[in-house]
Structure 1
Amino acid sequence: MAAIGIDYGTSNSEVSYFDGQQHHFIKLDPNIDGANKIRSSVFIYYENELPTPPTSMIEAKVAQIKRAITEQIDKAKEGYYEAQDGKEQQRFSDQIDDFRAELHNLPALQRRAIELLLKDMTVQDLPLKQLVETGKFAFGEEGFKRYLKTPDKGRLIYSPKNFLGANLVAGQQQAFVGLIAKQLEFFRLSAEQQLNMPVDTAVIGRPVKFHGTRGHEGNKQAVDIMTQAATQAGFNQIEFLEEPIAAAYKIERTLDNHTNVLVADIGGGTTDICCIKLSPAKQANLDRQQDVLSVTGARLGGMECDKNLIIQSIAPTMGRGLLMRNGLPVPPTFFSDMCAVDDIPKLNRFFSDESWLEIVQTKSDVKESKMLGRLLAVQEQKLSARLVNSARLAKEMLSSKDIITLPLHYIEPDYDVDITIEELSRSMQSWLRKVKALVSECLQNSAEQPQMLFITGGMSLSPIVKKELEEIMLPHLPVMQGDAFNSVCEGLAIQAAKLA
């Protein structure tokens, strides 16, 4: 039996097996040659017809049909009493009998209700739980390409991890258990196939604080969902390890002597900081909590930067800041809701008929209506996830360029937006202040000061982040070089090997 490390991330996920000497990364996305990482997003879809609507929807529609039939019976009764001769009375009497028979034929009413519902229903009308139970799953680039090609055939969950600590309504918690179980099972089966051995144990990375506003309850819910999902996916033994501590276990293998290291793991959804005592002599120890000097974290990831960049540089070309005839600005919630791919209630509000009507009315109330037309296109075609992905690509391109032209032709032909490194930097400032506050908090809570700095996670590659942390905030700390993407997963695999 083998044990694997799973870095289940906000933007990307990764799986690794450590044999005691070297790491073996599991290929998860067949659409990308040599790619170990896979998009964490999931596209749940239907190739043909939608499934039977949920019972609650059918019952509601049946009740609506019954009300309509009852009204027909009442009208027929009025006609019966107002009839002038026996033949006319008999005609209304026959109608009443037919309507009553129809009213009490429940199977026929249910079939009629289902037909009416399917005629007007879209995949967005299905509860997430039913979608998970009845839909097909596509992961990674395959799923994202399916979403781009046929967004009306399914629903893209851009980042399942972001919802684990949220206030989930009835049915949603079990929906996410089932959804994530499908992903974890895919990871396990891929590992078994490539390692040619059974896999029954996993060490799964977790942030210090899961994305959400519910504190301890949210974190407990997130761990419960992940535990249930991993069990459902076929793992017999499951452990969780905080991501910055996992990264520390990886870099510990490069050290020659005892060193206190400040680890900053800045990922897509969260930022986690820890100060930890590392030593080659302790590499084999299973429990290292006594070596953790301080650890803290918050939901401050690269996705927030993506959304901020949209608000800063893209939304103004969609009507943000325009004034309506009454002198008031176009509602800013249009744009914040448009970006809320990690907030189901906000995104549902943006895609609602009410929101569509508000945007249409606002579009007719501003001079530059073409700009609002772009916002309307995103709303009508449900392009929010694609737009956030475009902002992420712009952010990555600006890591090596001073200015880029971002094509948004899927919104409008010839629609391009120029974005500069200065604009990106401005959009990141409020986020950076929060990240630096976390670093300060970790340092203040540590009984011993760090001797070295290690930054990992996708956002560690940003020259803006590196400059703020390495040159401005912590210039006195030597910087350890390491893999920005693989360190957490490698550390998780090292811990999994100890369990095995």
Structure 2
Amino acid sequence: MAAIGIDYGTSNSEAIYFDGQEHHLITLDPSQPAANKIRSSVFIYFDGDLPRPPDSAIEAKITQLKGAISQQIEKAKEGYYEAIMPKEQQIYSDKIDVLRAELHNTPVLQRRAIEILLEDMTVQDLPLHRLVESGQFSFGEEGFARYLKTPDKGRLIYSPKNFLGANLIAGQKEAFVGMIAKQLEFFRLSAEQQLQQNVDTAVIGRPVKFHGSSGEKGNKQAIEIMTLAAQKAGFTKVEFLEEPIAAAYKIERNLKKHTNVLVIDIGGGTTDICCIKLSPQKLANIDRQQDVLSVTGARLGGMECDKNLIVKSIAPTMGQGLLTHSGLPVPPAFFSDMCAVDDIPRLNHFFSEEYGLEIAQTKSIVKEPKLLERLLVVQEQKLSARLVNSSRLAKELLSSKTDITLPLHYIEPDYDVKIDNDDLKRSMQSWLQKVKRLVTECLENSAEPPEMLFITGGMSLSPIVKRELQEIMLPNLPLIEGDAFNSVCEGLAIQAAKLATKNS
């Protein structure tokens, strides 16, 4: 039996096996150059008809149909009593008999009710748990490509991890358990196929604080969902390790002596920081909590930067800042709601017919309606996830370029937005200040100062982030060079190998 580390991320996920000497990256998405990484989004879809509507909806529709038939019976009765000729009375009498037979033919009424409901039903009308129970799953770039091609056939959950600590309504918790179980099972089966042995144990990374507004209650809920999902996925033993501590375990293997290290992990959904005592003499130790000097975290990930870049640099080309004929501004909420890919109720509200009408009405009273037409296209065609993905690509390109032209031709032909590094810096300023406050908090809570710095996570590759943290905030801390993308998962795999050895 083998044990693997799983970095279940906001933007990307990966799985790694450590044999005691080497790390083995599990290929999860062969369509990508770095195939061990896979986009964390899930597309749940239907190739054919949608599933049978809920029983409550069918019963309500049957009641409605019976009401309509009863009205026809009463009208036929009136015709019968008003008729003078026996032949005319017989026609009404026959009609009443037929309608009464229809009224009491429950199987036919049920089939008719289902047909009517299915005619009007869309994927967006299905509760999430029904979607998970009945739909087909597509992961990684294949799933995202399928979503881009046929968005009306399914629903894209852009980042399941972002919902784990949120206030979930009835059925949603079970839906996320089922959805994430499908992903984790895919990871497990991929690992078993490549390692040629059974995989029964996983150490899964967790942020210090999961995305959500429920505090410790949300953290407990997130761990419960992930535990149930892992068990449903076929793992018999599951443990969780805070992501910055996992990254520390990785870099510890390259240290020559005892060193206090400040680890800053900036991922897609959260920023997590720890100050920890590391030593080559402690490599075999499983429980290292006594070595953690300070740990903190918050919902400050790269996705927030993606959304901020839209609001600051793309939304003005979609009508943000326009005034109506009466001098009132276009509601700013239009554009923040458009980006809410990590808030299902809010995004569903943005995609509703009522919201579309509100945008259309506003469009009719502004001086440049063409700009708001772009917003309306995003709303009507449900393009929010695609737009956030475009913003992410722009952010990544600006890490190595001074300016780019971002094509948004799926919204409007020849619609291009020019964005430069100054635009990106402006969009990141408030986010960076929050990250720096988090670093300060971790340092103030540590009983001992750090001697070295390690920055990891996808956002650590941003020149803007590097300069703010390394050169401006912490210039006196020597930087440990390491893998920004794999260090967390490699540390999780190291911990998984320790567990496997302990249990063998």
TM value normalised by structure 2: 0.97
2: CA distance, partners of 1:340 / 1:154: 18
Partner letter of residue 289 of structure 2? Q
1:426 aligns with 2:437: no
Cross-structure match for 2:146? 146
Cross-structure match for 2:237? 237
Cross-structure match for 1:256? 256
2: CA distance, partners of 1:330 / 1:465: 33
Shift of residue 59, structure 1, vs aligned partner? 2.1
Cross-structure match for 2:77? 77
Cross-structure match for 2:368? 368
2: CA distance, partners of 1:314 / 1:56: 43
**Where does structure 1 lack aligned partners over 5 or more consecutive residues?**
none
Give the total of aligned pairs: 500
Shift of residue 78, structure 1, vs aligned partner? 3.4
Q: Which moved more, 1:79-88 or 1:467-476?
A: 79-88
Kindly provide the CA deviation profile for residues 440-498 of structure 1, in whole angstroms up to 9, marking residues without a partner as x.
11111111111111110000011111111111111121111111100000000000000
2: CA distance, partners of 1:312 / 1:35: 33
Cross-structure match for 2:63? 63
**Where does structure 2 lack aligned partners over 5 or more consecutive residues?**
none
2: CA distance, partners of 1:484 / 1:276: 18
1: CA distance, partners of 2:33 / 2:495: 28
Cross-structure match for 1:486? 486
Kindly provide the CA deviation profile for residues 329-363 of structure 1, in whole angstroms up to 9, marking residues without a partner as x.
11111111110000001110111010111111111
1:192 aligns with 2:198: no
Cross-structure match for 1:98? 98
1: CA distance, partners of 2:361 / 2:66: 36
> Residues 25 and 390 (structure 1 numbering): CA distance in 2 closer, same or farther, change over 3 Å?
same
Kindly provide the CA deviation profile for residues 374-413 of structure 1, in whole angstroms up to 9, marking residues without a partner as x.
1111111111100000000000011111111000001110
Shift of residue 85, structure 1, vs aligned partner? 4.5
1: CA distance, partners of 2:104 / 2:449: 78
Kindly provide the CA deviation profile for residues 56-103 of structure 1, in whole angstroms up to 9, marking residues without a partner as x.
222222222222223323333333444444444443343333323222
Cross-structure match for 2:402? 402
Cross-structure match for 1:274? 274
Kindly provide the CA deviation profile for residues 159-210 of structure 1, in whole angstroms up to 9, marking residues without a partner as x.
0000111111111111111100000000000000000110000000000111
Q: Which moved more, 1:316-325 or 1:181-190?
A: 316-325
Cross-structure match for 1:414? 414
1: CA distance, partners of 2:297 / 2:132: 31
2: CA distance, partners of 1:452 / 1:70: 81
Q: Within 5 Å, which residues of 2 pair with 1:20-39?
A: 20-39=20-39
2: CA distance, partners of 1:192 / 1:93: 71
1: CA distance, partners of 2:70 / 2:329: 49
Partner letter of residue 384 of structure 1? S
Compute the RMSD of aligned alpha carbons: 1.2
> Residues 70 and 333 (structure 1 numbering): CA distance in 2 closer, same or farther, change over 3 Å?
farther
Cross-structure match for 1:341? 341
Cross-structure match for 1:178? 178
TM value normalised by structure 1: 0.98
What secondary structure, in the 3-state scheme, does the structure 2 residue paired with 1:483 have? coil
1: CA distance, partners of 2:491 / 2:73: 72
1:165 aligns with 2:165: yes
2: CA distance, partners of 1:45 / 1:242: 33
What secondary structure, in the 3-state scheme, does the structure 2 residue paired with 1:13 have? strand
What secondary structure, in the 3-state scheme, does the structure 2 residue paired with 1:448 have? coil
> Residues 479 and 34 (structure 1 numbering): CA distance in 2 closer, same or farther, change over 3 Å?
closer
Kindly provide the CA deviation profile for residues 286-318 of structure 1, in whole angstroms up to 9, marking residues without a partner as x.
000011111111111000000000000001111
What secondary structure, in the 3-state scheme, does the structure 2 residue paired with 1:437 have? helix
Identical residues among aligned pairs (%): 79
2: CA distance, partners of 1:32 / 1:400: 20
Partner letter of residue 460 of structure 2? S
Cross-structure match for 1:304? 304
Cross-structure match for 1:120? 120
Shift of residue 260, structure 1, vs aligned partner? 0.7
Structure 1 segments, 4+ long, off by >6 Å, are: none
Cross-structure match for 1:439? 439
1:382 aligns with 2:408: no
2: CA distance, partners of 1:60 / 1:429: 53
Kindly provide the CA deviation profile for residues 261-296 of structure 1, in whole angstroms up to 9, marking residues without a partner as x.
111110000111111110011110000001111111
1: CA distance, partners of 2:476 / 2:92: 94
2: CA distance, partners of 1:398 / 1:22: 34
Shift of residue 34, structure 1, vs aligned partner? 4.6
Partner letter of residue 234 of structure 2? G
2: CA distance, partners of 1:398 / 1:479: 23
Q: Which moved more, 1:15-24 or 1:146-155?
A: 146-155
Cross-structure match for 1:47? 47
2: CA distance, partners of 1:338 / 1:100: 51
Shift of residue 11, structure 1, vs aligned partner? 0.1
Q: Which moved more, 1:41-50 or 1:235-244?
A: 41-50
Cross-structure match for 1:463? 463
2: CA distance, partners of 1:368 / 1:234: 56
Shift of residue 327, structure 1, vs aligned partner? 1.6
Q: Which moved more, 1:191-200 or 1:365-374?
A: 365-374
Q: Which moved more, 1:299-308 or 1:28-37?
A: 28-37
